[in-house]
Amino acid sequence: MKFTIDRLGFMRHFNNVLRAVPSKTAIQILTGIKFDLTDAGLNLTGSNADISIETFIPVADESMKLKIESTGSIILTARFFSEIIKKLPGETFTFEVKDNFRVILTSAASEFTVIGFDANSYPRLPEITDATELEFSSEIFRGLVNQTVLAVSAQESRPILTGVHFMINADGLLAVATDSHRLAQRKLDLAIEGNYDFVIPGKSLIELSRMLADLQDEIHLKITDNQVLFNFGSTKFYSRLLEGNYPDTTRLIPTDSTTTMQIDATTLLASVDRVSVMSHESRNNVVRLQLNAENKQATLLSNSPDVGNAEETLTFTALNGEPLDISFNPDYLKDALRACGNTEIKLSFTTNLRPFTIIPSEDGVHYIQLITPVRTF
C-alpha cells in the first residue's frame, strides 16, 4: 500500500473522521482510524461504537493530489498519527506500508516510521441499504439540532432523555428534547411520506452539527431499527439510536398564561448574563424575575450571601397580566435565548411554580422552549 496526497487537504478529511475516535476505550482498536486504499481513492473510517464516520477522498479530485502506487488497508493510532501529519514540513506526504504493518511517512526532508495494525481487526460498519431515504437542507437541519440539543439530559439515569426525539409524519418533522427541567421543541413543515419515530443521542447530534457548519449541500437520512445514517458530500455519519419509549411531552407545554412579556432576546441575554455573575457564587444558582404590568416594571435580581447581590431593570416591548415573582436557573434561560438568536421573544407565565415558555415572536408556531422554575420557599 502506497500513496502520496496533499497534506492540508488530507487533514481536513482526517479531522472529520477523528471526531468519532475516543481518547480512551476498552476496545483498543477503536483508538485507531482505518485506511482503505483502492484504485478509486482513499477511504477513512473512525468509530467509538456509538457513532461511526466514514469519508472518501476520490483520486479524481485533483485538489487532493492523490497518487496511488499500490492499494491496501491498515489501521493507525489516530491521535498520534494526527500529531505527526500536522508537523510534517512539506505540502504533500507519502504513506507507504512495509512488512509487519510498519508505515513509512515521508514529507520533504522528514521521515517517520509508525507501527500500524491489521485492518481485518476493525469492526464492520452497520449495513443500511434498504431503508427509506429522507432529504433535508443541511443548514435547516443543523439549525434544528442546535435549537433542541441544548435541552437533552446529561444524566444517564434516564438514557432515553440523553437524546433528541424525532417524529416524522404527514404533518412534517417534530424534534423534542427535555431533561425534565427544560424542554425545546422545533417543527419543520415538510412533505414526507411515511411515519418515523426515533431518538438520536445528543452527543451524536452535537458532532454532526459541527461537521455541517460549512456545508451547503443537502443531507440524506436513512433510518433502521437501531441505526441512523447521515450522508452528505463524501462523508457518511452513522449513529446508534436510543432504545425505549420517549415520554409524551405535549402535555407539559402550557396552553394559556396569566402574565406575558415581549423583549429583545439579545437584550435579555445580556442582562441575565450580568446578574448571574452573582448567582453563580451562590450554592443555589438562582435568579429572580419580578414583573408588574400595572407599574410597567420588570426587574432581575440575584443574591449570594457571601459575595453580594445584583439588580437590573429590564427594558421591554410589552408587559401584560398579573404581577409575578418567579425564580429560575439563569443558565437554562441563557441557553434558550442563545438558541433563539437575534429576535424578539415572548415569555409566557402562569404561576411562579409552573413552567414558563419562551417563543420567538416571528416563529411561534414552529419553535418553543420551556423552563421549570425553582422553588425558593
pLDDT digits (tens, 9 = 90+) for 37-56: 999 999 999 999 899 999 99
Q: Work out the mean pLDDT of the chain and round it to a whole number.
A: 93
Which three cell numbers mark 182?
427544560
Rounded Cα gap, residues 290 and 297, in angstroms: 8
The amino acid at residue 118 is D
Q: Is-above-0.85 flag for pTM?
A: yes
Task: Say what the pLDDT of residue 284 is.
Answer: 81
User: Please, which pLDDT band fits residue 363 given cuts at 50, 70 and 90?
Assistant: low
User: Please, which pLDDT band fits residue 361 given cuts at 50, 70 and 90?
Assistant: confident
CATH architecture of 253-371: Box (3.70)
Contact criterion met (CB below 8 Å) for 224 and 231: no
CATH (residue range 133-249): 3.10.150.10
* Least confident among 283-287, 315-319, 320-324: 283-287
Rounded Cα gap, residues 212 and 229, in angstroms: 14
Task: Say what the pLDDT of residue 133 is.
Answer: 84
How many beta carbons lie within 10 A of that of residue 37, not counting itself? 23
Residue 322 main-chain phi, psi, to 5 deg: -85, 155
Residues of the chain with CATH 3.10.150.10: 2-121, 133-249
User: Please, which pLDDT band fits residue 365 given cuts at 50, 70 and 90?
Assistant: low
Residue 113 pLDDT greater than 70, yes or no: yes
Rounded Cα gap, residues 348 and 255, in angstroms: 10
The string of pLDDT tens digits covering residues 177-191 is 999 999 999 999 887
In this prediction, residues 60-89 reach a mean pLDDT of 96
Residues of the chain with CATH 3.70.10.10: 253-371
The string of pLDDT tens digits covering residues 161-172 is 999 999 998 888
Contact residues for 179 (Cβ-Cβ < 8 A; gap 6+): 151, 152, 153, 154, 155, 161
Contact residues for 348 (Cβ-Cβ < 8 A; gap 6+): 254, 257, 259, 260, 356, 357, 359
User: Please, which pLDDT band fits residue 128 given cuts at 50, 70 and 90?
Assistant: confident
Residue 24 pLDDT greater than 90, yes or no: no
Which three cell numbers mark 326?
418567579
CA 174 to each of CA 95, 169, 220: distance values in angstroms, whole numbers, following the listed order: 46, 9, 17
Task: Say what the pLDDT of residue 75 is.
Answer: 97
Residue percentage of the chain with pLDDT more than 70: 99
- Which residue in 101, 96, 47 sits closest to 68, CA to CA? 96
Task: Say what the pLDDT of residue 262 is.
Answer: 97
CATH (residue range 2-121): 3.10.150.10
Which three cell numbers mark 142?
443543523
